[in-house]
Amino acid sequence: MGTLNIAIIGDSRPSRPHIGKAVAAQSSVSCKVFEKDVDRHVKNRGGSLDLHPESGQRALQEAGLFEKFKKLARPEGETLRIYSPDGIVLMDESRGESGRPERFANRPEIDRTQLRNLLLDSLAPETVQWNSRLQDIRNQDDSKLTLVFTNGNEETGFDQVVGADGAWSRVRPSVSETEPSYSGISGLDCRISDVDARFKKLSEHVGRGMCLNLGSDKGLMCQRNSDGAIQLYAFARLPKDWFSTCGIDFTHPNARREVTNMLFPEYTPLQKSIVLNSDPDTIGRQLYMLPVGFQWSHNPRTTLIGDAAHLMPPFAGVGVNVAMKDALELAHAIIGEKAEQEEPSSLSIRLREFELGMWARAKQNAEVTIMYQDLFFHQRGGIAMVEYFAKKRQEDAQENTI
């Protein structure tokens, strides 16, 4: 296929650019990854990720990283607990009780930073160019592309640019004017370190996996990380301007208590303490999403994957898996893998076929995500989610008896 020069614009998310490179490295494709962060150590927070067999795990297998992943993965992190705001256990998979349907099995957890480092360590050192925040993409006279970065650097001679640069992609404007819109969900991103030693009751409440404390249109959503810390998202359905109109000074040390009193007054003292005992570096978050079914006019030299292509809230747990599937399928398209009996096709045609498949997957997953968001933030709290899982278990049992 000759020599193709591919540029991948990333934002240091685990998997977005790196799986594509890991697979493409098996071919003669030249590939560089440009990351906006100064180095790999800048982003060190975030919850854990459950990798699905048909997407995230498959991508790691084809990249030759699955055995290393299994050494880091935590099957015990798969369990889910759901509490009501008065502390009543509505569901607890860790006790062997009925929980989610079997389709949720074999999805072990791994920390974001661990997955990112696993992927970075698999690359040649010169592959990733750090401190490279994209400013512009320019056309050259020879039909190739030049990348201009905010640090003044320019990189020339690219045949293809892949935007894997997240929600506020700088590549997306090359193919579409569409921007993400507010999902209706906001809150605090918190972390509690050294939980086992400092807060034993909190540790027991959360357990070793995921713990959802769901009230009416709100929730304290916890994840255990590999270092024993707890990642917490204290989210609710809130207006877009809530952070500026709620009257809370978020620079003040008492901000977490004010948020807890305002949004979660009916929760038990133990549940409230998940927020109150969190580390000082709490972050205010608003969740955004691209339109369900978002597409763009095909550009033979520019495409998007991951959040840049189909940003969605995290409530179906599919974001990283969809992105890894994107990267895997895109790598196949770039390499030109085809059945022997098929005629070779141009890169533009293969990219178009890739985009059509990605858009279909993204639309389906976005619809599922909206459904789960409505369960996480339901007027009936966690009861609605427990009933949904029970209904799905019953449907699966009926299908298995046919």
For the chain, which residues make up each domain, given as ranges? 5-50+123-180+290-375, 181-289
Topology match between the domains 5-50+123-180+290-375 and 181-289: no
Contact in structure between 231 and 220 (CB atoms under 8 Å): no
Q: In what order do the strands lie in the sheet with 154-158?
A: 134-139, 145-149, 154-158
SS3 19: helix
Start-end of H helices in 238-318? 242-245, 255-263, 269-276, 307-310
Using CA atoms, how far residue 378 sits from 12, 270, 369, in Å, is 33, 22, 14
Residue 370 sits at φ, ψ, to 5 deg, of -60, -40
Q: How many helices (H) and strands (E) does the chain have?
A: 13, 17
With 0-12 / 13-18 / 19 or more C-beta atoms within 10 angstroms meaning exposed / middle / buried, residue 397 is exposed
Amino acid at 69: F
Two structure tokens written together for 398 = 């009926």
CA end-to-end span of the chain, whole Å?
49
**Which pLDDT does position 143 carry in this prediction?**
85
The Cα angle at residue 263 between residues 48 and 277, in degrees rounded to 5: 55
Q: What is the CATH number of domain 181-289?
A: 3.30.9.30
**Which pLDDT does position 176 carry in this prediction?**
97
Amino acid at 91: M
Distance of CA 238 to the CA centre of its chain: 22
**Which pLDDT does position 239 carry in this prediction?**
98
Dist CA 57 CA 375 (whole Å): 26
Dist CA 232 CA 376 (whole Å): 14
Dist CA 70 CA 315 (whole Å): 24
**Which pLDDT does position 44 carry in this prediction?**
61
Contact in structure between 137 and 171 (CB atoms under 8 Å): yes
Two structure tokens written together for 189 = 């991103």
**Which pLDDT does position 345 carry in this prediction?**
65
**Strand (E) or helix (H) holding 60:** helix 58-62
| Cα torsion through 283, 89, 112, 160, rounded to 10 | -90
**Which pLDDT does position 3 carry in this prediction?**
67
Dist CA 207 CA 95 (whole Å): 11
**Which pLDDT does position 339 carry in this prediction?**
42
- DSSP helix, strand, coil percent of the chain (3-state; round to 5): 40, 25, 40
**Which pLDDT does position 343 carry in this prediction?**
52
Q: How many CB atoms lie within 10 A of CB 222?
A: 26
Task: Give the pLDDT means over successive 10-residue stretches in the chain (402 positions).
Answer: 75 55 57 90 77 94 94 92 97 88 90 91 88 94 92 93 95 97 97 94 95 98 93 97 95 92 97 95 94 96 96 93 94 70 70 96 97 97 96 87 70
Q: Which residues pair with 183 in a beta bridge?
A: none
Contact in structure between 119 and 14 (CB atoms under 8 Å): yes
Q: What is the largest CA-CA distance in the chain?
A: 67
Q: Which CATH architecture has domain 5-50+123-180+290-375?
A: 3-Layer(bba) Sandwich (3.50)
Amino acid at 137: I
pTM for the predicted model, two decimal places: 0.92
